Amino acid sequence: MRCIAHITNLIVKDGLEEVDLSVVRVRKAVRYIRKSPARIAKFKECIELVNVDSKSMLYLDVSTRWNSTYLMLNVAQKFQGAFELYETTDPSYVKELNEADGVPNFWDWGNVRRMVDILVHFYELTLRISGSLYVTSNIFYHEISKVNYLLKDWMKSDDNKVKSMGERMKDKYDKY
């Protein structure tokens, strides 16, 4: 029998494939900016100019760890305006990203917001079930039921991406 954390990991990884290009574009944008102190300083200026009120700063994920991808996307989405302004101030940014997968666009940011809204449930679930002092099977049942409810709700979504992702994740959920 697999552990619930492992099953959650498998479900989320399958769902992330639905918006993989958007995640890759944001990851490369974050990586580009975090590459040098000068770029970070320029990005901070953009943050101030677009009036983003956030204490956090860009976080680069570990692509094999979905929870770090969630953290990266959650922070990056807050800075969408700063990324768009940075795009106009650093021609090398556009050039380098376009040579790879492209600069994050309006649709990518929409996908990122949807992913953050979806992944937050799994992130919180993972934090609750990873505690070693209070984990019992009666807590797991409640958590598993919530995941089932969420996936069924997403499968009924009007948003085709969310619906498709919910279906993929539900298939994986039902498998385990």
Q: How many independent structural domains does the chain possess?
A: 1
Tens of pLDDT along 74-117? Answer: 999 999 999 999 999 999 999 999 998 899 999 999 989 988 99
Give residue 100's pLDDT: 86
Tens of pLDDT along 7-61? Answer: 777 778 877 776 788 889 999 999 999 999 999 999 999 999 999 888 889 989 8
Question: Containing domain of residue 50, as a range?
Answer: 4-175
**25 and 108 in contact (C-beta within 8 Å)?**
yes
| Sequence-ordered list of residues with C-beta below 8 angstroms from that of 163, at least 6 positions apart, any chain | 154, 155, 156, 157
